[in-house]
Copies of this chain bind each other. A is one copy, B any other.
Amino acid sequence: MKTIVESSGLPADAFSAKCPTRQVLDHIAGKWTILVVDALTEGTMRYTELSRRIEGVSQKMLTQTLRGLEADGFVTRTIHPTIPPRVDYDLTSLGRSLAEPISALRQWTENHINEIEHARRQTRGAN
């Protein structure tokens, strides 16, 4: 059962260059998207909580990633007009759905990191 893309009437196919699925996949494949979505599975997080949870992310990239996730309907942004200001980020139901395969990918990598590093050490001379 293939999804029919409403905007084009064609079946969804990530291997096709024209399919919008490709853009979303490229976006999800961004450097920080996986970590941000995955972090939010732990519950509501404030901006600075996210930046501390995800080591090494800059303000710019965190903001940019969050804006992208908002635009795609994966994350909600809630502003509390208090002093000091407080902004909460949450996964939408669509975002929680996406988080399942994404978490699986992170966990797989963590579980197999030793095999991968071993394979890397076997690669000799190639460069």
Query: A residues bordering B, Cβ < 8 Å?
Result: 2-3, 5-7, 12-22, 24-26, 28-31, 33-35, 38-39, 53-56, 67, 70-73, 94, 97-98, 100-102, 104-106, 108-120, 122-123, 126
Contacts and interface: CB of A to CB of B under 8 A. Distances in A.
B97 A119 contact: no
Closest 6 interchain pairs by CB?
A73-B119, A17-B56, A17-B55, A12-B110, A101-B104, A101-B105
Contacts of A56: 17, 22
Q: What's the dominant secondary structure at chain A's contact region?
A: helix
A109 B24 contact: yes
Contacts of A25: 34-35, 105-106, 109
